[in-house]
Structure 1
Amino acid sequence: MASTEFDFIIVGGGLSGLVLATRLTEDPDIKVLVIEAGNDLTSDPRVNVPAMWPQLQGTTSDWSFKTVPQKGMGGRMLEVPQGRMLGGSAALNGLNFVVSSKDNIDAWGADLGNGPGWNWEGLSKAFRKAYSLTTSGNIEKEGPVQVTIPEEDTKWPQVWRETFAGLEYDPTGNDDPFSGKNLGAVMRTRSFAGNAYFAQARSRSNLTLWTTTVVEKLVLEPSSTRVTATGVQYTKDSSETKTVNAGREVILTAGTFGSPKLLELSGIGEADLLKSLNIEPVIDNPHVGENLQNHPVCVLSFETDPANEEGFETLDKLTRQDPATLAAAMDAYSQKQRGPLSKTNCNAMAHVPLPGISTEEGKADLARLLNSTSTAAEKGKTPSAFAKKHEAFVHSILTNPRKASDGPDGRFAPPPSVSGDSGGHFTIGVMLSHPLSRGSCHLANTRGELAIDPNHLGHSLDVEILARHVQFLESVLVKSEPLASHIKTKRCAPRPEMGISDANEAKRFVRETAIGASHYTGTCSMMPRELGGVVDPALRVYGCGNLRVCDASIIPLMPRGNPMATVYGVAERAAEIIIAGL
């Protein structure tokens, strides 16, 4: 690996890095280098077989971060899986393709001063360049990523839809994800940036990929008028540090944790923090690493009724690795790519509003709640102007009975805590769609170790809203037909002894059992600097015109679900911006 000069150096071979590399090298005169810390596992069955998606977590292909103790969760430290391989977390996650809502995109786009290209009208066009959709025999071919509805070989998804319909929630059916509705897991094999985008580009002579190569810092040259990124310092297999130069730009696509880490290691961040770590500040921006957001999730699991087993098989035997069940599943997948290994266990989802918001009593209760939990009273580094905009957006969702504040998913599988039991389980995750809690990710030392503090449940409104959704699940949803006929409505995990019909008990349940969804965003937010921004609408780092960030870290208001689909759109939009400026 000689010090060849490339036009663009892309730091991070994850989702957005591979999308950008593919689009930029469509011009044969543009030379691009992609640097990835992990290995190329695009042919590994642990990546490609949908049901095997958890198998790489906790391995050398996972950065395996941990949070600091979370005050809002009783001091618990949470695991934070993050892909360390070609394709990044898109090769490690649960394959859910959940598009952000129009309201959300408009809020973090134009409403935050990011211009018309970042509102729904502009960004949805970029989204559509990323995927091809197959449903019910119809195919819409536009982008490389293949998206479809999972095959329904049990009756659980049908029961899920019918139960919500009986509660007067509109079913979505098998719709286009960009209608604002929802899709579940991809069927048969994983389609992601590594095998969808990069496969068509990797043989190009103007594209170079370095794997197992760690970028230590950016090479920045300050002058009296500006700062220029000239390249990066890197190590390969723990060897000596070398430098590679960029003729045009350096683009950080290292993810919500990796991108702010490299900015701070390179002298871009809060000056006092950098000085305390003996790092010379180059650009003083206290917003680097701030505005970290994530979805908190509570899990409730119920035993299934063995009297109603036909058509309602669960994945318990497969989870327990029952030899006969495992052999049958492997045979079905190897022969026709069908059966339980051809999909994840998340095949039933919903987006639901705040329980009771359609009633006068519910509206009055919410009004009291909003008045008593204002963000304006919070202390922290978040500029008050952004905090108020964030609060206004979340309040607009909560007060509208047509908007979703929770994204529950149903899985016919056990939670980890009961995986050794006999029998079957139906497990429901209750996820707060739009939390107000914000945290941070900063260097803990110059070795690159991070202090990750999402501040889960740090905002009291998050606890109140999540607790109400948990109560709705146990007191209404699982007692409604036809779901009620197929499960035992006594919870089995976690904390089966805790009652949650009382509001205070429900809030205690939330604080004691909630986990993070690993949907982290926001640490290099795209918005005006005075609001807390790190990058401008062209994704350029403030103060350094040829350094950009393009990954989930630039999203200032997190999407309602898994951010993967949104990041595909962000990367496509970034490619348009960069190419237009050449």
Structure 2
Amino acid sequence: MCFVAFLHLFILCTLFPVAECLFLHPCNISDSILPSYDYIVVGGGVGGLVVANRLTEDRSVTVLVLEAGKLDFPANSVTVPGLVGHGWDPAYDWNISTIPQEFLDNSTIPLPLGHVVGGGTILNGLPTTRPGRRSANPGWGWRGLLPYFMKSETFVADMDSKVTRDFNIQTDMSVHGTNGPLEVTYPRFLYISNFLQGVSELGVPLLNDPNAGVMAGAMIVPSTMSVQSQSRADSRTAYLDGAISRPNLHLASEQTVTRILIGANGSAPGINVPLFGELRRAYGVQSVNCIMEVILAAGAILSPILLQVSGIGPALVLKELNISVQVDLPGVGQNLQDHAMVQPFYNYTNTCLFSAADIAGAILQEVEDEYFTNHTGPWTAPLISTTAFPSLRSLTANWSSILQSVSSCSAEQHLPPGQHPTILKGYDQQRQLLLQFLNWDDVGALEVMADSIGTLSVSNLHPFSRGTVRALSADVFASSDTVAADVEVDPRYCSQPEDCTILNTTAMQQLMPKPPAPWDKMAGPGPLNETVLLDAVQRNLRTEFHPCGTTSMMPFELGGVVNPRLVVYGTANLRVVDGGIMPLVPAAHVQAAVYAIAEKVCL
């Protein structure tokens, strides 16, 4: 194994001639790692790499990034937009699944999580959308994050005038960055525009620029991809590769952090310090000491798990695992939210429409040659470029009765049993905010995605359902091969029944939509009835890969885990910088928000 790893390191050094010990190789890490660093960053995805890049702009600061996954050497299925979604190296995924979902059909659902330098940005579908102007946390909504959205990106609207006219693309460059590390652009090929025409006829507005603050409408979304090569742009290429020559930035791949070392003012663990009597201090991980801060950026699933096994979390959970309680923090691992997605929901059947499913035989060779020769053609198009975020009012005349049904329930009625009073209080406030959001006509309720292979998928943007994440063992991370078995993830999809309410529409008739088997046999000549549709939803529901909320930035008395500086309550120098800090999953794809959050916290 070390020979293969050495070969990878040799290739890396030929790609980046000035490495200056940036990558600490697994075979010789004990000889290369420093005894202490100013900052230790746990997780090499978006949050971790952005923070490490910005901190090491100060050459007097030393930073160590520890990533459990490998340094990737991506294949075409990862880097070529038109092939994204056709599989990736299994080693890039933690291979975690949910527990059986009792409010669906009791099946487990795979929950892909990036296990690679670059994290989820190596695996995601590329679309980049920002949350809209409606938000709850002062300073952390669209306006508060706008400077950091702009700081993170270099946006290029490089499209033919006919394409921009046909697809209603008019970029507002006043809200986009032009000198950031992350390239964002539109693909050089777009599939059918019938979807936009169809939803427009239903009264859903067409948006010129989906990232200008209003998300309720239909649009072509930009993607994180290189303008020149039309290939994936990810957090590694954006924030790590450009920092390759900094001797004060070390990244150690294939290094799984087992726990964060916590004590009183840097002392050894085991001293019983009350929550707010004296703040606990993170002083390192394993055999490496930290002088300033430990920054946890392992994602919304694994960050709360790592906090729990380090002694920070609900006291009852920690005592069950025989873990010494450093900070009794009930919100750690609670408030799990995700965009539940039904995929595929409808198939196109109009044979006159060209889709990615038609790329085969001689056409495949032609498309491949065009992409690698000119960086144009169908392979420049990601799986998802065309979406709609219709408001609840535009979807159904029964919108008010749906909201009334939710508001008539008690806060704890659809939550897991035995919730701490702070969790109940926090959820009640969240629910009131969601009811407000869904009452407005400029906030999307669902995302409808028209993909390149000829199917339509639907996801719920503002779920009321809440789930949990918890460790099943104090030694979850003792071996990276067994992590999945020692983690319990329960999103509790559709525990609030209104999340799975079926909103049927007669949209997009030109596409001749047809539900997938076996529901196509039940459809008959008219639309599917609600019972059949609900069955289809419960059997086909999957994740849209947007878990959030498990280390929420909320007041402690509302079940919060971090304060507005993203410092964990009860600690002096432990931060969380990933999607887990978002108290409500945004009504957008989450990667743009996480880039901006990490940029903001580094100010």
Give the TM-score of the pair, scaled to structure 2: 0.82
Give the whole-Å Cα distance in 1 for the aligned partners of 2:404 and 2:521. Answer: 30
Stretch moving more, 34-43 or 199-208: 34-43
Give the whole-Å Cα distance in 2 for the aligned partners of 1:342 and 1:439. Answer: 37
Alignment of 1:553-564 (within 5 A): 553-564=580-591
- The one of 187, 193, 200 equivalent to 2:242 is 200
Query: Is the contact made by 1:301 and 1:493 (CA closer than 8 Å) also made in structure 2?
Result: no
Deviations 1:374-427 (A, max 9, x none): 5453343262322222111221232223321011010131xxxxxxxxxxxx21
- Aligned residue in 1 for 2:182: 145
Stretch moving more, 296-305 or 141-150: 296-305
> Percent of counterpart pairs with the same letter?
30
- The one of 173, 176, 179 equivalent to 2:213 is 179
Give the whole-Å Cα distance in 2 for the aligned partners of 1:518 and 1:367. Answer: 26
Deviations 1:30-88 (A, max 9, x none): 11111111112265444322233335546011111100000111101000111111110
- Aligned residue in 1 for 2:9: none
- The one of 141, 149, 166 equivalent to 1:127 is 149
AA aligned opposite 1:314: S
AA aligned opposite 1:50: P
Matched, 1:74 2:114: no
With over 3 angstroms needed to count, the CA separation of the structure-2 counterparts of 1:501 and 1:550, relative to structure 1, is same
**Per the alignment, in what secondary structure is the counterpart of residue 129 of structure 1?**
helix
- Aligned residue in 1 for 2:405: 369
Stretch moving more, 552-561 or 224-233: 224-233
- Aligned residue in 1 for 2:512: 488
With over 3 angstroms needed to count, the CA separation of the structure-2 counterparts of 1:313 and 1:541, relative to structure 1, is same
Give the whole-Å Cα distance in 1 for the aligned partners of 2:251 and 2:452. Answer: 40
Give the whole-Å Cα distance in 2 for the aligned partners of 1:152 and 1:522. Answer: 35
With over 3 angstroms needed to count, the CA separation of the structure-2 counterparts of 1:73 and 1:330, relative to structure 1, is same
With over 3 angstroms needed to count, the CA separation of the structure-2 counterparts of 1:334 and 1:276, relative to structure 1, is same
- The one of 221, 225, 242 equivalent to 2:263 is 221
Give the whole-Å Cα distance in 2 for the aligned partners of 1:186 and 1:226. Answer: 40
Give the whole-Å Cα distance in 1 for the aligned partners of 2:569 and 2:403. Answer: 39
AA aligned opposite 1:444: L
**Per the alignment, in what secondary structure is the counterpart of residue 602 of structure 2?**
helix
**Per the alignment, in what secondary structure is the counterpart of residue 563 of structure 2?**
coil
Give the whole-Å Cα distance in 2 for the aligned partners of 1:123 and 1:327. Answer: 43
Deviations 1:315-344 (A, max 9, x none): 1144xxx34333222211210122222231
- The one of 281, 289, 314 equivalent to 2:355 is 314
Give the whole-Å Cα distance in 2 for the aligned partners of 1:58 and 1:48. Answer: 12
Deviations 1:285-310 (A, max 9, x none): 1211111100111232324322xx2x
Deviations 1:411-457 (A, max 9, x none): 131xxxxxxxxxxxx21111111001010111122341200000101
**Per the alignment, in what secondary structure is the counterpart of residue 464 of structure 2?**
coil
Matched, 1:328 2:356: no
Cα RMSD of the aligned pairs, angstroms, is 2.2
Query: Is the contact made by 2:78 and 2:88 (CA closer than 8 Å) also made in structure 1?
Result: no
AA aligned opposite 2:388: A
Query: Is the contact made by 2:519 and 2:532 (CA closer than 8 Å) also made in structure 1?
Result: no
- The one of 269, 283, 290 equivalent to 1:230 is 283
Stretch moving more, 224-233 or 178-187: 178-187
**Per-residue deviation at 1:135?**
1.4
**Per-residue deviation at 1:498?**
4.0
Stretch moving more, 38-47 or 24-33: 38-47
Matched, 1:412 2:434: no
**Per-residue deviation at 1:372?**
4.4
- Aligned residue in 1 for 2:94: 63
- Aligned residue in 1 for 2:598: 571
**Per the alignment, in what secondary structure is the counterpart of residue 169 of structure 1?**
coil
- The one of 486, 493, 507 equivalent to 1:477 is 507
Query: Is the contact made by 1:57 and 1:81 (CA closer than 8 Å) also made in structure 2?
Result: no
**Per-residue deviation at 1:491?**
2.6
Give the TM-score of the pair, scaled to structure 1: 0.85
- Aligned residue in 1 for 2:84: 53
Q: How many aligned positions are there? A: 521
Query: Is the contact made by 1:494 and 1:513 (CA closer than 8 Å) also made in structure 2?
Result: no
**Per-residue deviation at 1:142?**
3.2
Query: Is the contact made by 2:85 and 2:383 (CA closer than 8 Å) also made in structure 1?
Result: no
Gaps of 5+ in 2: 1-29, 160-170, 265-270, 477-485
Query: Is the contact made by 1:357 and 1:401 (CA closer than 8 Å) also made in structure 2?
Result: no
Gaps of 5+ in 1: 111-116, 234-242, 414-425, 577-582
- The one of 46, 51, 56 equivalent to 1:25 is 56
Deviations 1:520-549 (A, max 9, x none): 011111111111111111111111111111
- Aligned residue in 2 for 1:510: 537
- The one of 359, 362, 383 equivalent to 1:345 is 383
